[in-house]
């Protein structure tokens, strides 16, 4: 109806101007009207904001968020679907999963519909879909990757420092999806007390996810278990020994040499069952490679009794 009226008006206009409506002009007018009509019809249809981020990474144990923006939603509903099993997680702001970790977040008047997974677990990695209940349905795919983020102290699990020198510890939050909001240092169960003594400083670089603890002019009283705890990663610890009189390297060497003697004493008094239990305990706390290197006698004994059994 609208198209016929516009065509009639175009012809009358041309006649009034004393000209004739050419075939080319007619085609142009029809195309313009068709395009205008299509635009008018599609103006009220929902559509996705394709500039939305669609790949997300979250740390295990932390909340994960995926954001879907829908324009011109009107009275349609937005749903979140897990693609691996096509399970409907949420419809609108209602959760349709028995897993309470999933929830839909939405503010009235906003075009953003957010799926929250809290806390995220490795099994949550995979594809998700944001769907709108148009006919036919429209959907937008998202991907979530859940990683294990763990801090690492570069000095290793144990550090020997000579009294009077500095304790210098560097901690890195490995695989953290976002720079940590903070990185705390603990000595034992307590946060490192900067007011307790002078010469303690911490430098944290959020961009590189790195924190450095410096304790100047260390004394044996500074010995203890030091822990680096980023806000979004598992913590890491190191046992620091501040020693006087003997070089730290010599102490470490002597500790290694003492291991075979201790092993010999233990093995001479243990039954096979007790020795196997002890071996499993040591293997749990120390790598097998370490045990073989530091105590070849223990390994030969365990191998011999295993073969004899």
Helices marked H in 270-295: 272-285, 288-294
At 53 the pLDDT is 94
Instruction: Enumerate helices (H) and strands (E) in the chain, giving the number of each.
Output: 6, 19
The total number of structural domains that make up the chain:
4
CB atoms within 10 A of CB 107: 10
Which residues contact residue 130 at a Cβ distance below 8 angstroms, ignoring those fewer than 6 apart? 48, 66, 68, 70, 78, 79, 80, 81, 113, 115, 139, 140, 142
At 184 the pLDDT is 92
Give tens-digit pLDDT for 53-95.
999 999 888 899 999 999 999 999 999 999 999 999 999 999 9
Element (H, E) at 75: none
Residue 279 lies in a domain: yes
Q: Which of 192, 220, 243 is the last residue of a domain?
A: 243
Q: How confident is the model at residue 156 (pLDDT cuts 50, 70, 90)?
A: confident
**pTM (two decimals):** 0.53
Q: How confident is the model at residue 255 (pLDDT cuts 50, 70, 90)?
A: very low
Greatest Cα-to-Cα distance within the chain, rounded to the nearest angstrom: 121
Give tens-digit pLDDT for 165-198.
999 999 999 888 788 888 999 999 999 977 778 8
At 271 the pLDDT is 55
- Residues 233, 271, single domain; the answer is no
Residue whose tokens read 């009358």: 12
SS3 282: helix
- Residues 97, 18, single domain; the answer is no
Residue 249 lies in a domain: no
Pick from 149, 240, 241, 248: nearest CA to 186? 240
> pLDDT at residue 270 above 70?
no
- Residues 57, 129, single domain; the answer is yes
Residue 251 lies in a domain: no
Domain that holds residue 15: 2-42
Give tens-digit pLDDT for 191-246.
997 777 889 999 999 888 999 999 999 999 999 999 999 987 889 999 999 998 66
Residue 200 lies in a domain: yes
* Per-chain mean pLDDT for the chain: 76
CATH of the domain at 86: 2.60.40.10
Q: How far apart, in whole angstroms, are the C-alpha atoms of residue 83 and residue 85?
A: 6
Give tens-digit pLDDT for 90-140.
999 999 999 999 999 999 989 999 999 999 999 999 999 999 999 999 999
Which residues contact residue 124 at a Cβ distance below 8 angstroms, ignoring those fewer than 6 apart? 64, 117, 144, 146
Q: Which of 201, 220, 243 is the last residue of a domain?
A: 243
Q: How confident is the model at residue 308 (pLDDT cuts 50, 70, 90)?
A: very low
At 14 the pLDDT is 38
At 281 the pLDDT is 62
């Amino acid at each position: 109806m609208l198209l016929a009226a516009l065509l009639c008006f175009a012809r009358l206009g041309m006649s009034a101007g004393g000209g004739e409506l050419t075939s080319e002009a007619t085609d142009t007018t029809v195309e313009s009207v068709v395009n205008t009509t299509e635009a008018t019809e599609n103006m009220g249809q929902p559509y996705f904001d394709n500039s939305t981020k669609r790949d997300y990474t979250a740390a295990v144990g932390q909340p994960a968020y995926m954001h879907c923006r829908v324009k011109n939603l009107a009275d349609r509903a937005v749903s979140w679907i897990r693609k691996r099993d096509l399970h409907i997680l949420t419809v609108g702001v209602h959760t349709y999963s028995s897993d309470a970790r999933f929830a839909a977040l939405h503010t009235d008047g906003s075009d953003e519909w957010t799926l929250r997974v809290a806390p995220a677990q490795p099994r949550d990695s995979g594809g998700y879909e944001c769907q709108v209940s148009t006919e036919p349905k429209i959907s937008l795919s998202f991907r979530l990757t859940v990683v294990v983020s763990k801090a690492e102290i570069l000095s290793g699990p144990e550090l020997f420092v000579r009294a009077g020198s500095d304790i210098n510890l560097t901690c890195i939050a490995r695989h953290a999806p976002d720079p940590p909001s903070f990185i705390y240092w603990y000595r034992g169960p307590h946060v490192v007390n900067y007011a307790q003594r002078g010469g303690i400083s911490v430098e944290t670089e959020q961009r590189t996810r790195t924190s450095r603890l410096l304790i100047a002019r260390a004394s044996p009283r500074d010995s203890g278990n030091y822990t680096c705890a980023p806000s979004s990663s598992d913590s890491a610890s190191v046992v620091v020994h501040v020693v006087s009189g003997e070089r730290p390297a010599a102490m470490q060497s002597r500790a290694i040499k003492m291991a075979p003697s201790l092993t010999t004493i233990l093995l001479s008094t243990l039954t096979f069952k007790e020795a196997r239990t002890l071996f499993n305990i040591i293997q749990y706390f120390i790598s097998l490679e370490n045990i073989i290197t530091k105590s070849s006698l223990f390994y030969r004994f365990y191998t011999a009794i295993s073969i004899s059994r």
